[in-house]
């Protein structure tokens, strides 16, 4: 039996707007094992961030509301917790880092004060000890001259430094779960690599589980163990990270993979997925991806495909015409193009 | 010992920017002069501001040791103006502090929580804006009786809505910035987020607004004094001094001239300082204006 830190079951988060109910997250389920990293991948507006905010119970209400489901963290359902209990969990057991390191630190507070604040909120220690702990955290995330940096204001730090400060802050209370919402999107490529390395290091040092929310499959391949692909509020494919890259089944996943440059393949032109995520009001009755799908059939238009497990429950895909491959072993896939179906 | 960096480490630069505003400096000097006079009034004046000397009524400026002459009761005008400065400045500062504190708190709550809190506060603001303030103040004064204390809180009551609106707008633009979300994810309570993370970020426009609000408060109190609903005789208040002087405007215009000039100068100084402060503290705005 896997040791699950987090079990999300049939989570539905809806937003009530003037135009009607927007089902931002519509019945998703996934598990996260202790110490593992789960990548949640999808285009903008597919419900990734709403998922993370739902786990944090920070959905602005109104207009948003978690209408059903359960989020079991360490055996307890977070949805039944009071706001006060949640405050004790946020930043302590579950913490979060954001996309934009420029704006995720308070511009008029010293970084040292901000890290100490997070520590003081959750640990019964004095200001001096909190400060020591903050300096220690800054050292561990690789910030040079941490004592000096304690007294810096965010604008005096570079983007990469700020993201390191955010990570230091997030891990200062030994969080069991770190939700990273596009942690590298706003950074330079070289800095991205550094931050990914840092997150790997922190994961092994602190044993933190990570939910990595991103649209960047490169980041996922570097950091995640398992991947959940989301489209229009639903999970369309679930698999181990290796399987996603070697043997993606859902046309949407394949589309995402084809839209990124790969160093190991000669590609004349990158394939973009035509169109955008459909607006919630004009959501087709069948598969939400149907209007953009190259493999769409009549059935896709009228009937929504369920998420079906295969490979002994290790993988799942929601598609009527999933790209099928005969039982092939991993060694066979070595040189196969990523969209196995087309190659056959 | 290493030099500690504080929020004031930017002060020298700000002073330089401020110094570029000549009018701001002029205002600062003029206001400082008034403050010195107000604080040192008991030492500076030769005559008691309350002592009447009917034999020396309407003495012209400069004669008999009366720097600015005397009024219809023979009281020394300079003494009365000096003591009046205390009252006017005090009223200005207390009224604005009161209004700024009330307005800021209501604005913070209104902007942060939104919904029915916001609705209630904003409708209240609109009611206050649409109500003719003089009639409200006169009504309150008529019921409670005129006194400095009443003038202060009634004017405070009248002035808070502009702060509430200003702060609310600031909060609305700050509320969705990620560091507020980040503060929530570290487990900060609402009050902590409001007062530790949001309020310090709104303080700059409040300071500017308050500086520009003080002359308004002084003018309002002078207007009340002039109408006879403000600070009462024989307390030397500039507005009521103008009121007394109006009866003798043809006989001796000095009586209305000096307190009028004081009001004018103090109000102008505050406005100059406020403008300079706004340009100093909000560089974006000053660039737009140029």
Q: Most confidently modeled of A99-103, B31-35, B208-212? A: B31-35
Residues 6+ apart with CB under 8 A from A278: A232, A284, A288, A291
Measured between alpha carbons, how far is residue A322 from residues A227, A236, A284, B7 in Å?
17, 10, 19, 59
pLDDT exceeds cutoff 60 at A173: yes
Q: A7 by DSSP, 3-state: which?
A: strand
Q: Which of B179, B187, B188 sits opposite A104 (nearest CB)?
A: B179
pLDDT band of residue B160 (cuts 50, 70, 90) is very high
Interchain proximity A104–B184, CB inside 8 Å = no
* Residues in chain B within 8 Å Cβ distance of A104: 178-179, 181-182
B283/chain A closest Cα distance in angstroms: 16
Q: Is residue B1 part of a domain?
A: no
A64 phi, psi to nearest 5 deg: -85, 155
Q: Is residue B63 part of a domain?
A: no
Q: Is residue B228 part of a domain?
A: yes
CB proximity B178 to A under 8 Å: yes
User: From A92, which residue of chain B is nearest by alpha-carbon distance?
Assistant: B186
Share of chain B above pLDDT 90, in %: 23
Q: Is residue B28 part of a domain?
A: yes
Of A32-36, A258-262, B137-141, the one with minimum mean pLDDT is: A258-262
pLDDT exceeds cutoff 50 at B130: yes
Interchain proximity A151–B182, CB inside 8 Å = no
Q: Is residue B172 part of a domain?
A: yes
Q: Which domain holds residue B152?
A: 17-45+70-289
Give the separation between CA B69 and CA B80, rounded to whole angstroms: 11
A244/chain B closest Cα distance in angstroms: 31
Residues 6+ apart with CB under 8 A from A70: A7, A8, A9, A10, A11, A77, A79
Interchain proximity A99–B201, CB inside 8 Å = no
Interchain proximity A90–B187, CB inside 8 Å = yes
Task: Supply the CATH number for residue B213's domain.
Answer: 1.10.3720.10
CB proximity B3 to A under 8 Å: no
Q: Is residue B53 part of a domain?
A: no
Chain segment A105-114, per-residue pLDDT in tens = 888 888 888 8
Whether residue B258 is preceded by a cis peptide bond, meaning omega within 30 degrees of 0, is no
B232-253 burial, b at 16+ Cβ within 10 Å, e below that, comes to eeebbbbbbbbbbbeebeeebe
B251/chain A closest Cα distance in angstroms: 59
Q: Is residue B7 part of a domain?
A: no
Q: Which of B5, B115, B187 sits opposite A92 (nearest CB)?
A: B187
A62/chain B closest Cα distance in angstroms: 9
Give the separation between CA B54 and CA B77, rounded to whole angstroms: 14
pTM: 0.78
Give the separation between CA A187 and CA A190, rounded to whole angstroms: 8
Q: Which of B4, B186, B201 sits opposite A91 (nearest CB)?
A: B186
Q: Is residue B11 part of a domain?
A: no
Give the separation between CA B221 and CA B243, rounded to whole angstroms: 12
Q: How many domains does chain B have?
A: 1
């Amino acid at each position: 039996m896997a040791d699950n830190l987090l079990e999300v079951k049939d989570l539905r988060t809806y937003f009530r707007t003037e135009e009607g109910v927007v089902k931002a997250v519509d019945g998703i389920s996934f598990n996260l094992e202790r110490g593992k990293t789960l990548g949640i991948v999808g285009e903008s507006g597919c419900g990734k961030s709403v998922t993370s905010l739902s786990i944090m119970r920070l959905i602005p209400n109104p207009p948003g509301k978690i209408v059903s489901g359960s989020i079991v963290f360490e055996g307890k359902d977070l949805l039944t917790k009071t706001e006060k209990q949640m405050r004790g969990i946020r930043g302590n057991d579950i913490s979060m880092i954001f996309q934009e390191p420029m704006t995720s630190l308070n511009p008029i507070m010293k970084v040292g004060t901000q890290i100490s604040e997070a520590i003081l909120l959750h640990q019964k220690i004095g200001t001096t000890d909190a400060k020591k702990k903050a300096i220690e955290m800054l050292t561990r995330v690789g910030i040079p001259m941490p004592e000096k940096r304690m007294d810096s204001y965010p604008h005096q730090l570079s983007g990469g430094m700020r993201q390191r400060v955010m990570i230091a802050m997030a891990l200062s209370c030994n969080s069991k779960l770190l939700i990273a919402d596009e942690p590298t999107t706003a950074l330079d490529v070289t800095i991205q690599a550094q931050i990914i390395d840092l997150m790997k290091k922190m994961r092994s040092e602190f044993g933190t589980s990570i939910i990595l929310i991103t649209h960047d499959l490169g980041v996922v391949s570097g950091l995640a163990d398992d991947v959940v692909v989301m489209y229009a509020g639903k999970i369309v494919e679930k698999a181990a990270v290796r399987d996603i890259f070697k043997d993606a089944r859902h046309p949407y996943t394949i589309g995402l993979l084809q839209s990124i440059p790969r160093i190991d393949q000669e590609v004349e032109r990158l394939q973009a997925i035509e169109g955008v995520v459909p607006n919630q009001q004009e959501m087709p009755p069948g598969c939400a991806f149907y209007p953009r799908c190259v493999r769409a059939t009549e059935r896709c238009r009228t009937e929504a495909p369920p998420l079906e497990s295969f490979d002994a429950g290790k993988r799942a895909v929601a598609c009527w015409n999933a790209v099928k491959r005969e039982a092939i072993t991993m060694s066979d896939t070595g040189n196969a193009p990523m969209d196995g179906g087309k190659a056959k | 010992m290493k030099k500690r960096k504080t929020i004031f480490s930017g002060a020298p630069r700000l002073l330089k920017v401020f110094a570029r505003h000549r009018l701001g400096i002029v205002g600062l000097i003029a206001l400082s002069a008034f403050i010195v006079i107000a604080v040192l009034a008991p030492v500076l004046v030769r005559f008691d501001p309350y002592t009447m000397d009917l034999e020396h009524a309407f003495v012209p400026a400069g004669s008999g040791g009366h720097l600015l002459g005397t009024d219809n009761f023979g009281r020394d005008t300079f003494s009365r103006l000096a003591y009046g400065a205390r009252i006017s400045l005090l009223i200005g500062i207390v009224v604005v502090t009161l209004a700024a504190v009330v307005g800021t708190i209501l604005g913070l709550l209104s902007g942060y929580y939104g919904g029915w809190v916001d609705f209630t506060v904003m409708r209240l603001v609109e009611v206050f804006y649409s109500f003719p303030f003089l009639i409200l103040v006169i009504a309150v004064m008529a019921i409670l009786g005129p006194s400095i204390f009443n003038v202060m809180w009634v004017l405070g009551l009248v002035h808070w809505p502009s702060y509430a609106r200003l702060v609310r707008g600031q909060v609305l633009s700050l509320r969705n910035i990620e560091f507020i979300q980040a503060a929530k994810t570290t487990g900060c309570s609402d009050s902590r987020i409001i007062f530790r993370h949001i309020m310090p970020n709104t303080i700059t426009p409040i300071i500017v607004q308050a500086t520009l609000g003080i002359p308004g408060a002084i003018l309002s109190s002078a207007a009340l004094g002039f109408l006879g609903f403000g600070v009462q005789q024989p307390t030397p208040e500039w507005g009521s001094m103008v009121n007394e002087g109006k009866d003798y405007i043809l006989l001796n215009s000095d009586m209305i001239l000096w307190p009028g000039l004081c009001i004018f100068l103090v109000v102008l100084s505050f406005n100059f300082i406020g403008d300079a402060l706004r340009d100093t503290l909000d560089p974006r705005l000053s660039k737009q204006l140029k």
